[in-house]
Amino acid sequence: MGMRERLRRPVRRAPHGRVITLSLPELLLLGFLALSAVGTLLLSLSIAAYHPLTWHQALFTATSAVTVTGLGVVDTSSLTWFGQGVVLVLIQVGGLGFMTCAAMMMVMLGVRLPMNQKKLISESLDHTSFPSLIQMVRLVMIFSLIAELSGTLLLAFAWVPDYGLAEGLWVSAFHAISAFNNAGFSTWSGSLTHEVADPLVNAVISLLFITGGLGFLVIAELVNWRPAARVSLHTRIVLHATFWLVVVAMLAVLVLEWQNPATLGGLDGLGARFQAAWFQAVTPRTAGFNTLDTGAMSDPTALLTMFWMFIGAGSGSTASGIKVTTLVVLLLVARAFLRGEARPVAFGRSLPDNTVMEAVAVALAGMLLIFTCLLILTITESGQTFLDLAFESVSAFGTVGLSRGITGELSVPGQLAIILTMLLGRVGPISLGYLIAKRKIKGFRYAEGKVHIG
pLDDT at 319: 74
pLDDT at 314: 79
- Return the higher-pLDDT residue of 1 and 322: 322
What is the arithmetic mean of pLDDT over 161-186?
A: 93
HEC assignment per residue over the chain: CCHHHHHHCCCEECCCCCEECCCHHHHHHHHHHHHHHHHHHHHCCHHHECCCCCHHHHHHHHHHHHCCCCCCCCCHHHECHHHHHHHHHHHHHHHHCHHHHHHHHHHHHCCCCCHHHHHHHHHHCCCCCHHHHHHHHHHHHHHHHHHHHHHHHHHHHHHHHHHCHHHHHHHHHHHHHHHHCCCCCCCCCCCCHHHCCCHHHHHHHHHHHHHHHHCHHHHHHHHCCCCCCCCCHHHHHHHHHHHHHHHHHHHHHHHHHCCCCCCHHHCCCHHHHHHHHHHHHHCCCCCCCCCCCHHHCCHHHHHHHHHHHHHCCCCCCCCCCCCHHHHHHHHHHHHHHHHCCCCCEECCEECCHHHHHHHHHHHHHHHHHHHHHHHHHHHHCCCCCHHHHHHHHHHHHCCCCCCCCCHHHCCHHHHHHHHHHHHHHHHHHHHHHHHHHHCCCCCCCCCCCCCCCC
pLDDT at 269: 85
Q: What is the mean pLDDT of the chain?
A: 83
What is the arithmetic mean of pLDDT over 381-400?
A: 93
Beta bridge partners of 12: 20
* Lowest pLDDT segment from 84-98, 108-122, 394-408: 108-122
What is the arithmetic mean of pLDDT over 155-167?
A: 94
Please check the confidence at residue 132 and state whether its pLDDT lies above 70. no
Q: What is the pLDDT of residues 241-292, one digit of tens each?
A: 999 999 999 999 999 999 999 999 888 888 899 999 999 999 998 788 999 9
- Return the higher-pLDDT residue of 46 and 316: 46
Q: What is the pLDDT of residues 44-90, one digit of tens each?
A: 999 999 999 999 999 999 999 998 898 999 999 999 999 999 999 99
Please check the confidence at residue 7 and state whether its pLDDT lies above 50. no
Q: What is the pLDDT of residues 178-187, one digit of tens each?
A: 999 888 899 9
Q: What share of the chain in percent tops pLDDT 70?
A: 80
- Return the higher-pLDDT residue of 364 and 447: 364
